[in-house]
Amino acid sequence: MSILIAILVLGIIAGVFGALLGFASIRFKVDADPIVDQLDALLPQTQCGQCGYPGCKPYAQAVAEGEAINKCAPGGEDTIKKIADLMGVEVQPLDDSHQHSDTDNSNRPKVAFVIEEDCIGCTKCIQACPVDAIIGAAKQMHTIITDECTGCDLCVAPCPVDCIEMRDLPDTINNWQWDLTSIPVKQLD
Amino acid sequence: MVESIIERINSGRFWDFHGGIHPPEQKTLTSDKPIKQLNLPKQLIIPLQQHIGREGELLVKVGEQVLKGQALTLSTNPMVVPIHAPTSGVISAIKQSVIAHPSGLSQLCVFLDVDGQDTWRKRNVCSDIKQLSNHEIIEKIADAGISGMGGAGFPTHIKANSKPDINFLIINGVECEPYITSDDLIMTEQSDAIIEGIHILDRLLKPAFILIAIEDNKPRAIKAIQKAVDGVEKIKVCVIPTKYPAGGEKQLIQVLTGQEIPSGSLPIHSGIVMHNVATCFAINDAVRHDIPLIRRVVTVTGQALEKPQNVWALLGTPIKFLLEQCGAKPMVNEQKQPVIMGGPMMGFCVSSDLVPIIKTSNCILVPSKKEMPSAFDTQSKETECIRCGQCSDVCPSNLLPQELQWSAKAKDYEQLEKLNLSDCIDCGACAYVCPSQIPLVHYYRIAKAEIRQQQQLDLKAEKAKQRFEARKLRLEKEKRARQEKNKKAAAARKAAMNKKTPEANEAKSAVAAALARVKAKKAAGNLANAKPQVEKVADNVIDTGSDEKSQVAAAIARAKAKRQLKADSTQNSTVDNSEVNHASQSVETASHSATDDKKAKIAAAIAKAKAKKQHQHSESPGNETSPANTANITKKSQREETPTLNDKKAKIAAAVAKAKAKKAKQKQEHTHADNPVIEAKAKFTDTEVISSNDEPVMANEIKPVKTKSIAQANDKINDKVSAPRDKKAKIAAAIAKAKAKKKSKEAANSHKKSSDNPLTKQPDESI
């Protein structure tokens, strides 16, 4: 008899909690997949497509669905580390296919530059630019809005006259970083 | 509350801020010497940007003669402060040059070749500032290019713009950093001008009280200022205890008022505005004497100099010139003598002695090796942190320097922000006391720069994201618009067609006519006979096109044309087939006369009969052929030839067929001899076929024409070949037969139904 009561009581408790959990899962349902937005926020938003996806958001989506985390070349190690932290996976080195030959200089920020005398005004680069950072019109010279350029180099390949090249961003006072060789402070006597 | 603060100040008691240090002051090197007026340097290098903010628009060109005080850039924005020519001369270049920045990077500078005349531009000296409105005064300050001269270089006209409820205007004459005496000297020598400047600020800001803060290590300055203030109730001269960094904005506010400015907040939010004494002097110069900010007091000091002294330096004066004037030893630069811009605590080593003096440069320090050995060390003597905690004891901002240091080394920027790195004022007190000689401030500076850069990158990434999304949206929108447009255009076309306007009908009928014509052409290609009819139909269609019911009419016409075409073709083909088949089969099958097929036999017989008849006719004089025969020939020839058959074509055809005709004739003769019985029968059948042929309207219509044309063709052949007449006739027959053969093949392919036709069965029955 006592066994029956125990079964009954536990059964009721299980039922109550089951109902509670079921209700909660409906009532507090999360609509969007927040992990995708979080991942997207970590990515550098160059929209370069080097990961094989047409932009940062699609890659974030893919990572959320189990794609490798080491395909973002512009983000580099830092981004991989952050994604690894967020996804709770091991940090991986950058995908081999994305390693540049000139490794020392590859991760420097770059911007596209139109050699204007060579430009024929074909608008192909304008169509390729993911962030609309190129201005120009058909048969008019094009130029890059340096401030908007993400350095994705997607405009380089479509150019029929090879008049676009990637250049290092010049060092200015605004992006200069301190180094430790400046003055040390010392007790004077 | 303000009153209690004033009471406390009056009684000479002040608050204290956390931490702070007492480094050796070293001010006596220069504090007892007057400010020296220097000769004009040969060249001035004037950076376009000498303050926090952005550079203005250039107003001068290379080669231009400028006068002293002439504006070189134009302010287009409150955060832009103009620069002025410190003396008269010629602009020799406008190019990148090393500037007073720890990076040693270059920025755009105006190179001014000094002419030595020092001629002023026209000055608008104001004798009575009471006549000026506040707005005019602020404009004068802005036009004079005054930015904070204490170190940060914030545009003064923004800070001087009147705001309500200012409790305290604090004039900062603390000058807490070792070595520097420029504010001390300017207060001593120019106290009246400074007080005038303070009065101008008083008028603009309308503070409850004005506090002039001076450290107690500057007795002469205190005396001079007190004298100049001359017992004005509102202005309090506060002599505060010496402690580094009491001159920091937040620290000084705490010392004077006991208020702590919260992290991330500005003093103005607490009703406090602070200006440097040198700035007050510059304000007075600008408002009263119309002298823009073109010079400042610079402390040139250090034991490596023979004559350390405060000097009036024109902005843009290269450090090299100042050092020469103050007796730098000649080997200074060969020894890699460090030259520090700013004080020993917060300054930085300049990378070149061409670096010019700018609005915020208050000190050039050239230490000897004995004085500051660490400045000569190329290697850091940094050792591990021993967690002594001295740094946090001295931090004026109540931060945890050692924790900051670890986080900065680990590049853990999130943690740094949690530790309030942004509240660090870079005073260097922590590094000063560190027994492990860790250059703490440098780690913070790097971290701060990196955080700032990361923020910029984040901003840029956000912008890129927005632009990417916007572009995607735009492309999608364009695509949709295109599709919609196409759809709309199609709908419009349809609607226009269905509308019962004359234009629409015309268009419709034109389309219908075109369709009909196309069909007709196709039909004509198969059957030349049908063509006139179809054309007629097509004509009908076009004629009735303007009709309201043109579409219906056209449709009907088309249907009719189709039906007629079918009828024609079947009729023709039956006729053709019956004849042509006979003719051809006669050629093909006559040789083996014992064919089982009844039909074939009959056909062969007919063909033979025809051949014989033709033969006979050709033998008879002239071109007189029996009507039946003519009809036959006509029809046969018609198949290939269009109604507008011309003689030329006939001639060519005749020529081509000549050879064939010979062969055919031979065969005919063969069959003729072999099957006399069938021949007789064939004659009968032939007539039957012809009689039945009379029925189709079309055939009747065309018959006469054809006969004529063939006759003509025959005539031509007669003339040309001049062969015996029977031969000619034979040739004609051959041509016809050859053509018929070809046609029959086509007809057999396209009109298999013809066998079901009663006309074809006729010969059968006749048997």
pLDDT in tens, B259-272: 899 988 888 888 99
List CB contacts (< 8 A) between B462 and chain A.
45
Instruction: Check pLDDT > 80 for residue A99.
Output: no
Range of weakest confidence among B415-429, B443-457, B574-588: B574-588
State the DSSP code for B261: P
Quick check: B374 and A186 CB within 8 A? yes
C-alpha of B745 from chain center: 68
Maximum mean pLDDT: which of B160-169, B190-199, B581-590:
B190-199
Which strand (E) or helix (H) includes residue A130?
none
Q: What is the mean pLDDT of residues B703-730?
A: 50
Cβ-proximal residues to B223 (8 Å cutoff; 6+ apart), any chain: none
Q: What is the mean pLDDT of residues B398-407?
A: 92
Instruction: Check pLDDT > 90 for residue B298.
Output: yes
| pLDDT of res. B733 | 62
| pLDDT of res. B762 | 43
Q: Closest Cα of chain B to A175: distance in Å?
A: 6
Nearest-by-CA chain B residue for A146: B460
Query: Does A187 contact B at CB distance below 8 Å?
Result: yes
| pLDDT of res. B21 | 93
| pLDDT of res. B699 | 40
**Helix boundaries (H) for B326-439:** 390-394, 401-409, 413-418, 429-433
SS3 of residue B253 by DSSP:
helix
Query: Does A185 contact B at CB distance below 8 Å?
Result: yes
Q: What is the mean pLDDT of residues B744-759?
A: 50
Residue B512 pLDDT level (bands cut at 50, 70, 90): confident
| pLDDT of res. B187 | 93
B171 forms beta bridges with B212, B275
List CB contacts (< 8 A) between B338 and chain A.
183
The mean pLDDT value of chain A amounts to: 82
Which strand (E) or helix (H) includes residue A182?
none
List CB contacts (< 8 A) between B366 and chain A.
none
What does the CA dihedral B287, B291, B292, B293 come to, rounded to 10 degrees?
Answer: -100
What does the CA dihedral B53, B54, B55, B57 come to, rounded to 10 degrees?
Answer: -130
List CB contacts (< 8 A) between A173 and chain B.
99, 101, 103, 105, 107
Instruction: Check pLDDT > 80 for residue B20.
Output: yes
Q: Which amino acid makes up residue B412?
A: D
Phi, psi of B214 (to 5 degrees): -135, 135
Instruction: Check pLDDT > 50 for residue A127.
Output: yes
Q: Which amino acid makes up residue B16?
A: D
Q: Which amino acid makes up residue B364?
A: I
Q: What is the mean pLDDT of residues B93-103?
A: 84
Nearest-by-CA chain B residue for A47: B468
SS3 of residue B240 by DSSP:
strand
Listing DSSP states for A87-124 in one string gives HT----PPPGGG--SSHHHHTS-EEEEE-GGG-----H
Query: Do the beta carbons of residue B229 and residue B212 sit within 8 Å?
Result: yes
Model pTM score? 0.64
Residue A12 pLDDT level (bands cut at 50, 70, 90): very high
| pLDDT of res. B533 | 52
Q: Closest Cα of chain A to B364: distance in Å?
A: 14
Query: Does A182 contact B at CB distance below 8 Å?
Result: yes
Report the alpha-carbon distance of residue B257 to residue B209 in Å, rounded.
12
State the DSSP code for A70: -
Range of weakest confidence among A82-86, B357-361, B701-705: B701-705
| pLDDT of res. B233 | 86
Q: Extract the tokens encoding B169.
A: 């205007």
Percent of chain B predicted with pLDDT > 90: 32
Range of weakest confidence among B140-154, B285-299, B328-342: B328-342
Listing DSSP states for B132-155 in one string gives S-HHHHHHHHHHTT-B-SSSS--B
List CB contacts (< 8 A) between A54 and chain B.
none
Percent of chain B predicted with pLDDT > 70: 67
| pLDDT of res. A10 | 96
Quick check: B371 and A188 CB within 8 A? yes
Quick check: A187 and B23 CB within 8 A? yes
pLDDT tens-digit map of B586-641: 444 444 444 455 565 566 556 665 665 665 555 544 444 444 444 444 444 444 44
| pLDDT of res. B614 | 64
Q: Extract the tokens encoding A70.
A: 């080491």
Query: Do the beta carbons of residue B715 and residue B623 sit within 8 Å?
Result: yes
Q: Closest Cα of chain A to B431: distance in Å?
A: 7
Q: Closest Cα of chain B to A150: distance in Å?
A: 7
Kindly tell me the number of DSSP H helices and DSSP E strands found in chain B. Answer: 26, 16
Query: Treating both helix axes as pointing N-terminal to C-terminal, what angle do B440-498 and A56-64 enclose, rounded to 10 degrees?
Result: 100
List CB contacts (< 8 A) between A150 and chain B.
460, 464
Quick check: B105 and A171 CB within 8 A? yes
Nearest-by-CA chain B residue for A174: B453
Q: Closest Cα of chain B to A144: distance in Å?
A: 14
| pLDDT of res. B567 | 60
Quick check: A188 and B26 CB within 8 A? yes
The angle formed by the CA atoms of residues B411, B413 and B418, to the nearest 5 degrees, is: 135
pLDDT tens-digit map of B635-668: 444 444 444 445 555 555 555 555 465 555 555 5
**By C-alpha distance, which of B318, B292, B290, B419 is closest to B46?**
B318
Instruction: Tell me the CA end-to-end span of chain B in Å, nearest whole number.
Output: 142
List CB contacts (< 8 A) between B408 and chain A.
none
Residue contacts between A and B (CB atoms, under 8 Å): 106
| pLDDT of res. B88 | 93
Instruction: Check pLDDT > 90 for residue B404.
Output: yes
Cβ-proximal residues to B694 (8 Å cutoff; 6+ apart), any chain: B700
Higher-confidence position of B55 and B145: B145
Query: Do the beta carbons of residue B641 and residue B528 sit within 8 Å?
Result: yes
List CB contacts (< 8 A) between A77 and chain B.
none
Environment class of B269 (CB within 10 Å of its CB; exposed 0-12, middle 13-18, buried 19+): exposed
Q: Extract the tokens encoding B361.
A: 């440069």
Query: Do the beta carbons of residue A60 and residue A39 sit within 8 Å?
Result: yes
Q: How far is CA B8 from CA B17, B163, B170, in A?
A: 16, 26, 16
Instruction: Check pLDDT > 90 for residue B184.
Output: yes
One-letter-per-residue 3-state SS of B153-195: CCEHHHHHCCCCCCCEEEEEECCCCCCCCHHHHHHHHCHHHHH
Quick check: A183 and B349 CB within 8 A? yes
Query: Do the beta carbons of residue B258 and residue B15 sit within 8 Å?
Result: yes
Maximum mean pLDDT: which of A43-57, B115-129, B387-401, B574-588:
B387-401
Q: Which of A43, A148, A182 sits opposite B349 (nearest CB)?
A: A182
**By C-alpha distance, which of B118, B109, B111, B74 is closest to B93?**
B111
Quick check: A184 and B380 CB within 8 A? yes
List CB contacts (< 8 A) between B468 and chain A.
45, 47, 55-56, 130-131
List CB contacts (< 8 A) between A56 and chain B.
465, 468
| pLDDT of res. A146 | 87
SS3 of residue B2 by DSSP:
helix
Range of weakest confidence among B64-78, B122-136, B283-297: B122-136
State the DSSP code for A140: S
Nearest-by-CA chain A residue for B106: A172
Range of weakest confidence among A16-20, B451-455, B707-711: B707-711
The mean pLDDT value of chain B amounts to: 76
Q: How far is CA A172 from CA B53, B104, B340, B453, in A?
A: 14, 10, 21, 12
SS3 of residue B458 by DSSP:
helix
Quick check: B375 and A148 CB within 8 A? no
Residue B407 pLDDT level (bands cut at 50, 70, 90): very high
| pLDDT of res. B722 | 46
Look-up: residue for tokens 């269009």?
B642
Q: Which amino acid makes up residue A4?
A: L
Instruction: Check pLDDT > 80 for residue B188.
Output: yes
Environment class of B448 (CB within 10 Å of its CB; exposed 0-12, middle 13-18, buried 19+): buried
Nearest-by-CA chain B residue for A55: B468
| pLDDT of res. B378 | 66
Q: Which of A82, A178, A182, A185 would you mutate first to test chain B, the one with the most B CBs within 10 A?
A: A185
| pLDDT of res. B734 | 62
| pLDDT of res. B758 | 42
Listing DSSP states for B216-230 in one string gives TT-HHHHHHHHHHHT
Quick check: A188 and B24 CB within 8 A? yes
| pLDDT of res. B89 | 93
Q: Which of B26, B338, B442 sits opposite A178 (nearest CB)?
A: B442
Quick check: A131 and B442 CB within 8 A? no
**By C-alpha distance, which of B252, B242, B233, B225 is closest to B170?**
B252
Q: How far is CA B89 from CA B63, B472, B613, in A?
A: 10, 56, 126
Q: What is the mean pLDDT of residues B348-363?
A: 87
Report the alpha-carbon distance of residue B22 to residue A12 in Å, rounded.
75
Quick check: A45 and B349 CB within 8 A? no
| pLDDT of res. A180 | 46
Report the alpha-carbon distance of residue A56 to residue A79 in Å, rounded.
12
Residue B669 pLDDT level (bands cut at 50, 70, 90): low
Q: Which of B107, B449, B471 sits opposite A177 (nearest CB)?
A: B449
Q: Closest Cα of chain B to A189: distance in Å?
A: 7
Query: Do the beta carbons of residue B597 and residue B760 sit within 8 Å?
Result: no
Instruction: Check pLDDT > 80 for residue B675.
Output: no
Q: Which of A131, A174, A183 sits opposite B468 (nearest CB)?
A: A131
SS3 of residue B296 by DSSP:
strand
SS3 of residue B690 by DSSP:
helix
Quick check: B105 and A188 CB within 8 A? no
Higher-confidence position of B550 and B88: B88
Query: Do the beta carbons of residue A109 and residue A169 sit within 8 Å?
Result: yes
Higher-confidence position of B85 and B127: B85
Residue B701 pLDDT level (bands cut at 50, 70, 90): very low
Query: Do the beta carbons of residue B173 and residue B183 sit within 8 Å?
Result: yes
Quick check: B446 and A148 CB within 8 A? no
pLDDT tens-digit map of A20-68: 999 998 888 877 667 888 888 888 888 888 888 888 888 988 988 888 8
Q: Which of A127, A145, A146, A188 would you mutate first to test chain B, the one with the most B CBs within 10 A?
A: A188
pLDDT tens-digit map of B475-506: 999 999 999 999 999 999 888 877 767 776 77
**Helix boundaries (H) for B544-597:** 550-576, 582-589
State the DSSP code for B47: E
Higher-confidence position of B580 and A142: A142
Quick check: A178 and B374 CB within 8 A? no
Residue B702 pLDDT level (bands cut at 50, 70, 90): very low
Query: Do the beta carbons of residue B738 and residue B664 sit within 8 Å?
Result: yes
Phi, psi of B272 (to 5 degrees): -130, 135
List CB contacts (< 8 A) between B461 and chain A.
43-46
Q: Which amino acid makes up residue B445?
A: R
**By C-alpha distance, which of B675, B697, B700, B692 is closest to B765?**
B692
